[in-house]
Structure 1
Amino acid sequence: MNGVIPPVCTPMTPDGEVDAASLVRLVDHLLAGGVDALFVLGSSSEVAYLTDAQRAVVLDTVAGHVAGQVPVLAGVIDMTTPRMLEHAAVARAKGADALVATAPFYTRTHPVEIRTHFRILAGKSGLPVYAYDLPVSVHTKLTADLLLELASEGVLAGVKDSSGDDGGLREVILRRQAGFSVLTGSEVTVDAALWMGADGVVPGLGNVDPSGYVSLYRAARQGDWEAARAEQERLVRLFEIVRVGGRRMGGSSSGLGAFKAALHLRGVIDHPTTALPQVPLDADEIGRVGKLLAAAGLL
């Protein structure tokens, strides 16, 4: 797996249900931007806030609408292996091409348990599994030794690295064998990750500006690092939208609220609603998102 793989936001109606019509428009917006695959039910999809029924609506809507145009990766993120296996069975039935899974969480897990978890998930799901390295939420860092051992067994097809550990990312890239895909989850250091040898990017901001990340990726693949850096710097300035909520709310409320506000301002989704109990952006904060969009040439 390589290229630009945005973690698709989940548009919602004002009463908190999945807005399938807006989700279809968002998928079309991403495909028109030239993305290489779609990742649903990840952090930017607000997966932690969705019911199982809402997860199913997202999978049905996206996989059904994409209809094989690009691969669809489905997050099966949950606290335990048995629950992730249930999500994996649903994802496979609804047409997902691969799974994205964290280590188990809530209880702290030993590396032996994490290895067992991924082996069971890969063995029983029948789909390629990508590890999601997200220590800020899972409280476990997936080490290079663990990832590459599981890759050598054929358990893992790749990793989405959202750890913020650039040294660890580089170690995985340097030591991996052919066929193991390394994807960065950082919006703001994509050019550096690609220069190190990463295969692609999974950027939440890619919902807002998919063509920007596609341009960055293509410039890097062509060896035009000056163009890649210039596009990355434009996207870094646009990424300031995630901070408009300031200290009035948590980072998730501010960041996901900003992505949805931007998509609403761009006419892609009907409502900027985020799932409870996240704090919504106010009119002034949404206005600041609009100014940053305009500065980036998106309004």
Structure 2
Amino acid sequence: MTDQHATPGRSPHAPLITGGVVPPLCTPLTPDRELDVDSLERLVAHLVTAGVHGLFVGGSTGEAAYLPDALRRQALDVVVGTVAGQLPVLAGVVDMSTPRVVEHARAAAALGADALVATAPFYSPTHPVEILGHFRTIRAAVDLPLIGYDIPSAVHTKLAAATVAELAADATLAGLKDSSGDLDGLRDVLELVAGIDGFRVFSGSETVADLGLRCGAAGVVPGLGNVDPHGYVRLYDAAVAGDWDEALRQQRRLHTLFDLIRVAPTDRMGRYSSAIGAFKAALMLRGVIRYPTTSLPMIPLEAAEIEAVGKHLAAADLPVSTQ
């Protein structure tokens, strides 16, 4: 990749991510829901030190659908500046319609992102031909690698394996983040794109990351990777070495840790609120971020629920800050 899009005063673009652990960053917020810049810088350092292979800003774990556009862009600006070319930074440009996604994409390119991540359009029903046009329009508008994001639980449209393969074959898409939870579908995509040079598929699962890698995924994009990046790096390294027993041991440990997303009862809040709140509470307890604030209208965790998060950390042998 050339440095033609490099932001003045910043390092040129990092090479496009080819595999590994790419955590989708949480977005630390102050109690009045402004960006907590110091905490975000500490979070980036926490992940880089753990040996991750890239950073994804503006995904579901980052509360992108809840944040004002200016805050989304501020978070990306902080991460790009903090990383300073050490790792590739992927920018989520998720939005309801093609024109809005193109606006986000142009802003992300200007801020120095190394690649873009986009879903299918949502809210209004979308035909497969329209999905093809959506991704091709984004790629034509901004000359950065574009990664498709398959998350039907959020956008209510499944990126069909044939659609992904067609977009990979004409170089519209450089990769796929599969958060569908559909291992059969993941395998279908991997088989269809196997002969396309440079196309990379990433699993978005926290709990079956090892299976995704064994199917042939190039890497993982786990939200829990904010809390325990070292654990996912160990899992990935074991998979690369072909030590699937060790990969399974790491996955079982992370599967147990992932239960922290259930600290709040579902009759009090949705599972998404509980998960994001738990990730942020864990990061606060670990001394990485200052506050566990989540975006409106999400419901915050109560003190007893934050205490329960701490117990999950202790059971996983993750240190908690004493400050």
Q: Are residue 173 (structure 1) and residue 193 (structure 2) matched?
A: no
| 1:35 maps to amino acid | V
1:135-166 Cα offsets, whole Å, 9 max, x none, are 01111000110000010000000100001111
Q: Are residue 233 (structure 1) and residue 247 (structure 2) matched?
A: no
1:230-282 Cα offsets, whole Å, 9 max, x none, are 00000000000011112110011100000000000000000000011100000
Q: CA deviation at 1:178?
A: 2.7
Q: Which residue is 1:183 aligned to?
A: 202
Q: CA deviation at 1:295?
A: 0.4
Counterpart selection for 2:76 from 54, 59, 64: 59
Counterpart selection for 2:109 from 71, 76, 92: 92
- Any gaps of 5 or more consecutive residues in structure 2? 1-17
What SS class does the counterpart of residue 35 from structure 1 fall into? coil
Counterpart selection for 1:265 from 251, 271, 285: 285
Q: Which residue is 1:8 aligned to?
A: 25
What SS class does the counterpart of residue 24 from structure 2 fall into? coil
What SS class does the counterpart of residue 271 from structure 1 fall into? coil
Higher helix share: 1
| 2:247 maps to amino acid | A
TM-score by length of 1: 0.99
Counterpart selection for 2:233 from 214, 221, 228: 214
TM-score by length of 2: 0.92
- Cα distance in 1 for partners of 2:125, 2:179 equals 19
Q: Which residue is 2:148 aligned to?
A: 131
Q: Are residue 223 (structure 1) and residue 238 (structure 2) matched?
A: no
Does the Cα contact within 8 Å between 2:162 and 2:192 map onto a contact in 1?
no
Q: Are residue 194 (structure 1) and residue 213 (structure 2) matched?
A: yes
What SS class does the counterpart of residue 107 from structure 1 fall into? coil
Q: Are residue 49 (structure 1) and residue 66 (structure 2) matched?
A: yes
Q: Which residue is 1:253 aligned to?
A: 273
1:195-244 Cα offsets, whole Å, 9 max, x none, are 11110000000000001000000000001111110000000000000111
Q: Are residue 31 (structure 1) and residue 51 (structure 2) matched?
A: no
- Cα distance in 2 for partners of 1:174, 1:244 equals 38
| 1:256 maps to amino acid | I
Q: CA deviation at 1:56?
A: 1.4
- Any gaps of 5 or more consecutive residues in structure 1? none
What SS class does the counterpart of residue 45 from structure 1 fall into? coil
**Aligned pair count?**
299
1:178-205 Cα offsets, whole Å, 9 max, x none, are 3111000000001111111110000000
| 1:90 maps to amino acid | A
Stretches of 4+ moved more than 3 A in 1? none
Percentage of identical aligned residues: 60
1:100-154 Cα offsets, whole Å, 9 max, x none, are 0000111010001000000010111110000000101111000110000010000
| 2:88 maps to amino acid | P
